[in-house]
Amino acid sequence: GFIVGLDEPTSYDGQLKPLSGLMDLTPVVNPELLELSKWMADDTYSFWISCIYTMLPNVLKAQSKRVVRIVDEIDEQTSLNLFKGGDELDFADVQNDPDAVSQLLKLRRAGKIRFEYQVVDRAKVKMVTTITPAMDFLQLEDVLHDLRKNAKVQQRLAAYLQNLQGHTVTLMQAEKESGLNSAAFSMGMKKGWLKKGQIERYRIPDSGRVPSERELTKPLKLTHDQEQVLAPVVKDIDQEQAQTFLLRGVTGSGKTEVYLHAIAHALKKGQSALLLVPEISLTPQIVDQVRGRFGKQVAVIHSALSSGERYDEWRRIERGEASVVVGARSAVFAPLKNIGIIIMDEEHESSYKQDDVPRYHARKVAKWRSRYHHCPLLLGSATPSLESYARAMAGNYQLLTLAHRINQQPLPPIQVIDMRPEIQARGESNFSTELLSALNDRLQKHEQSILMLNRRGFSSFMMCRSCGYVLKCPNCDISLTMHLDTHTMKCHYCGHEEPIPSVCPNCHSRQIRYYGTGTEKVAMELHHLLPQARVIRMDVDTTRRKGMHGKLLREFGNHEADILLGTQMIAKGLDFPNVTLVGVLNADTGLDIPDFRASERTFDLLSQVSGRAGRADKKGQVIIQTFNPDNYAIRLAQAHDYDHFFATEMNIRSQAGYPPYFYTVKLMASHPEEKEAAKVIYDLKAHLTGLAKDTIILGPTPRAIARLKRRYYYQIIIKYRHDPALHQCLTKMLQYAQQQYPRDVELVIDPDPQYF
């Protein structure tokens, strides 16, 4: 638990328990974040404690383990040999053994043992050994004099200590510099030449890549356009205005440099800066750029850090030692003080919305903090979200525009290839004639290509051509995906795995076929078609290991491969000057998803990935393959026409009553039994009363993926414009649900859901 305040005398009339101890002597959440957590709990219909949890690095989360303590001699026969020799045992050790648990419960009833919670010792800080000379230069000189000629190690040690001139170094550094081993230093300590000590050592992620003061990059001289965009932001930093800016800048227009200048300005003013990016592991280049400019002042926060690294970065921020934070969604809670600017790059990205409790959107939290700190919030994107652009059009955000690429190159021409005739003419290949010859052409010229396989959507499945049977996950309404590396069919939602069948499980026909495409399959085809091409494949499978993502990108950057083949994870933020061709293998899989944002996501994705081509002085080219060449999202991405797309899509949203014309809330109930889930959702609907006249309630309906991880899902979508009663109604409903429903009912209230 967290102590969030003291209430004396208490207004609570139940039985109170005493605090058994404090885990931290200083507050782990500062007053600002405490206030934010309270607001967030209310805003996202979450428990207050889950909001505090979300803000903190793992090691600071209160952890305890359940232990069993023996309070009486145990005379009866038990199978719990674990009891021998100790008076305490970790409950987790027996938890999976129902017999053991039932015996423990029996013993507890008999008063022979007690269950207790014990705080887990959190090894939070990493300490390293240091050495300090215990004698001054002249004393060491005497030591050297007195040493025997062949006491080589001692001579080297004493000389090394002399060189340190009284300074403290870590033992590791000392070993490296002197070439002596730790035994030598221990010997030195025994002789009284040196003292050993301990200091705290920060675990800095990727610390090898933090440049020193001298290596920092110089700010680039801004172009006129960049100056124009930066000026109002800087003005608001100076005047401490909490205005929101929306910077719409085409890919390669130099948005990052504008961010860096804004950050530098805040720092110069003695303030701190927060830069949010969609997923750090996917955009390592921006981290390098920020670190390259601001060096060790930068802290990096993202989900792939070890908990120690994360905690240390958090502490560097908390102590004011790092005043620039770069990070993904959760970095929006960085304990920075005196923030001068908050920047959110690629503000349209759906990863800014947390998909789990608490279901917050980082943009909204950033807005809250910008108001708290009286600092501007700068949202940047080549393809702003409809919500944000509509706000800018309405004058709620100040619109800033970078319409041209820095290199004055036009955006790369995009060719749309209709795959229907291609397939008929050449059979089932993932490569059209044009794409193949373009790839070939780059190989000749020693230029590089990026190939994206849009895997979002329900592609990749096994179907029997005799009976039409599709192999599905036993736990979810999802078809299984074939993985050749493990020779299994996998569910990407629950992790279920089974062997690849050789005959149809339904009719035993051998006529089973695999539809859809995975990166693995494409890589094989590519190898067959262009055997001389060196291909790097990038997807969840090849990047699972820590650091692999960055490693593969660095290899590609060093031209150790000709083609980077990947899923959506390669669409963002990459800036490789030698890449002149971008190919999208299947532009339309994202369009099949039952989601009102499907077109917007497709447009964004195509625009993003196209922006990877021709970023330096060489001309770029983009080839998009599709089965829906007339789809407006594809057509307008081809034309680089955001304005037209915005107008078209807004029209559709207006007619269908979707955001940004309406706000939405999703209510979802789930249960292992389908009829229980349905019962709950109908019960909840009956509680939606007293709402505004133009508030629309859709459903209940089963969710698009009606069954997931052995649970059934039913949902209601609420659409509203302005409904003062709704928030309270939902809050009350949540309280009601917590009291009324059994524990196996799960209820979700998701404000501004990303998917329906």
Residues 544-603 that bind ligand ADP (CB under 6 A): 575
Of 469 and 682, the one with the shorter C-beta distance to Zn ion is 469
Cis omega (within 30 of 0) for bond into 499: no
Q: Choose which of 39, 458, 469, 755 interacts with Zn ion (CB under 5 A).
A: 469
**Which residues make beta-bridge pairs with 122?**
none
**What part of residues 416-475 is at the interface with ligand ADP (CB under 6 A)?**
none
CA separation for the pair 671, 747 (Å, rounded):
9
The interface partner of residue 493, options being Zn ion, ligand ADP, none and the CB cut-off 5 to 8 Å by kind, is: Zn ion
Closer by beta carbon to ligand ADP, 57 or else 284: 284
Q: Does 548 bind Zn ion (CB under 5 A)?
A: no
Cα first-last separation, the chain: 34
* Between 253 and 271, CB nearer to ligand ADP: 253
What does 473 interact with, of ligand ADP, Zn ion, none (CB < 5 to 8 A by kind)? Zn ion
Taking the complex as a whole, how short is the minimal distance between the CB of residue 383 and ligand ADP, in angstroms? 12
3-state helix, strand and coil shares in percent for the chain, rounded to the nearest 5: 40, 20, 40
| 253, 430, 602, 638: which one binds ligand ADP (CB under 6 A) | 253
Instruction: Please report, to the nearest 10 degrees, the dihedral formed by the alpha carbons of residues 721, 724, 730, 735 taken in order.
Output: 170
Residue 473 annotated as binding? yes
Among 162, 251, 454, 670, binds ligand ADP (CB under 6 A): 251
Q: What CA–CA distances, in Å, run from 195 to 186, 533, 608, 741?
A: 9, 58, 57, 64
Long-range contacts (CB closer than 8 Å, 24 or more residues apart) made by 235-238: 236/375, 236/376, 237/262, 237/265, 237/266, 237/269, 237/271, 237/340, 237/341, 237/375, 237/376, 238/269
Q: How far is the CB of 575 from ligand ADP (least distance, A)?
A: 5
Q: Which stretch binds ligand ADP (CB under 6 A): 67-75, 218-226, 513-521, 679-687?
A: 218-226
Q: Does 256 sit near ligand ADP (CB under 6 A)?
A: yes
Stretch that binds ligand ADP, among 245-253, 275-283, 541-549, 660-668 (CB under 6 A): 245-253
Q: What are the φ/ψ torsions at residue 395 (nearest 5 degrees)?
A: 85, 5
The entry of ligand ADP, Zn ion, none that residue 720 binds, CB within 5 to 8 Å by partner kind: none
Is 51 annotated to bind ligand?
A: no
Residue span binding Zn ion (CB under 5 A) among the ranges 1-9, 83-91, 287-295, 484-492 = 484-492
Q: Which is nearer to Zn ion, 209 or 483 (CB)?
A: 483
What whole-number distance in Å separates Cα of residue 716 and Cα of residue 707? 16
143 or 230: CB nearest ligand ADP? 230
By CB under 6 A, residue 220 contacts ligand ADP? yes
Q: Give 660: exposed, middle or buried? Use CB within 10 Å, 0-12, 13-18, 19+.
A: middle
Provide the minimum distance between the beta carbon of 177 and Zn ion in the complex, in angstroms, as a whole number.
55
Residue closer to ligand ADP (CB basis): 383 or 670: 383
**Which stretch in 159-167, 287-295, 509-517, 563-571 sits in contact with Zn ion by CB under 5 A?**
509-517
Question: E strand or H helix at 392, and its extent?
Answer: helix 386-393
Among 223, 241, 506, 648, binds ligand ADP (CB under 6 A): 223
Count of C-beta atoms within a 10 Å radius of residue 115: 12
* C-beta of 406 vs 564, nearer to ligand ADP: 406
458 binds, among Zn ion, ligand ADP, none (CB under 5 to 8 A by kind): none
* Nearest distance, CB of residue 260 and ligand ADP, angstroms: 9
Sign of CA dihedral 149, 151, 152, 154: negative
User: Are 411 and 250 contacting, i.e. CB atoms less than 8 angstroms apart?
Assistant: yes
Task: Tell me the C-alpha distance between 611 and 603, whole Å.
Answer: 12
249 binds, among ligand ADP, Zn ion, none (CB under 5 to 8 A by kind): ligand ADP
What's the rounded Cα separation, in Å, for the pair 662 and 654? 8
Q: Is 264 one of the binding residues for ligand ADP (CB under 6 A)?
A: no
Distance CA 331, CA 43 (A): 19
With tokens 């179907």, the residue in question is: 463
Is 375 marked as a binding-site residue? no
> Applying CB under 6 A, does 226 fall inside the site for ligand ADP?
yes
Q: Which residues, including other chains, have CB under 8 Å from residue 657's CB and lie 6 or more apart?
A: 696, 719
Q: Which of 103, 132, 475, 754 binds Zn ion (CB under 5 A)?
A: 475
Which of 247, 229, 234 has its CA nearest to residue 379? 247
State yes or no: 467 annotated in a binding site.
Answer: yes
**Closest among 245, 250, 249 to 392, alpha carbons compared:** 245
Contact positions vs Zn ion (CB under 5 A): 464, 466-467, 469, 473, 475-476, 491, 493-494, 496, 504, 506-507, 509
Contact positions vs ligand ADP (CB under 6 A): 220-223, 226, 249, 251-257, 406, 575
Sequence ranges of the binding site for Zn(2+) = 464, 467, 473, 476, 491, 494, 504, 507
